[in-house]
Copies of this chain bind each other. A is one copy, B any other.
Amino acid sequence: MGPTIEGVALTPLKIIPTRGGPVLHMLRADSPRFTEFGEVYFSEVEPGEIKGWKRHLRMHQNFAVPRGQIRFVLYDDRPDSPTRGMVQECALGRPDNYCLLSLPPLLWYSFACTGAEPGLIANVTDLMHDPEESEVIPFESELARKIPYKWAECRSDNR
């Protein structure tokens, strides 16, 4: 794994083979990644679809991908961050990348389904959904065009 944005953590998760189908860990109350329970929900992404850019102002998030393949791209433009300006890519999915991706607030993030079947993202957050504390900017906006990552080029290598 390459360098990571300040405050981002990638934690390998266990897949436990079981008769009839595996058990997949995600998050326990005694994990260093757990602080407080706000909500757990899922986001499904159709093959080839990209969601983002988005950021939360206060929420911490913990992502896992129990089905399909998802690529996350993170961008740090926090003024006081030691990794300001950094872009981090992270592929999540079984069997090789079944991990917990933990994200502090204020990072921009975007994600795409890079597999042939829909990808399923589970998100465990420390706050309940509140539209007031998140922002979404369209890819074609001026702000988004300042993010040094081009999904269009990425998409073509996902075939």
Interface residues of A (CB under 8 A from B): 18-30, 34, 37-46, 49-51, 66-67, 113, 118, 120, 122, 124, 128-129
Q: Is the CB of B28 within 8 A of A42?
A: no
Which residues of B sit under 8 angstroms from A28, Cβ to Cβ? 38-39, 128-129
Shortest A52–chain B CB gap in Å is: 10
Complex CA gap A22/B26 in Å reads: 21
Q: Which residue of chain B is the closest to A62 with respect to CB atoms?
A: B40
A19 CA to B50 CA in the complex, in Å?
9
**Residues A23 and B45 in contact in the complex (CB < 8 Å), given A28-B128, A120-B67, A128-B28:** no
* Nearest-CB residue, chain B, relative to A43: B23
Most buried by B among A21, A34, A38, A45: A21
Asked if residues A40 and B27 are in contact (CB atoms below 8 Å), the reply is yes
Q: Which of B18, B24, B40, B51 contacts A124 (CB 8 A)?
A: B40
- Quick one: closest B residue to A68, CB to CB? B67
Q: List 24 A-B contacts (CB under 8 A).
A: A18-B43, A20-B50, A20-B51, A22-B43, A22-B44, A23-B44, A24-B41, A24-B42, A26-B39, A26-B41, A27-B39, A28-B39, A29-B37, A29-B39, A29-B128, A30-B128, A34-B37, A37-B37, A40-B40, A40-B124, A42-B66, A42-B122, A67-B120, A120-B120
A103 to B50, CA, bound (A): 36
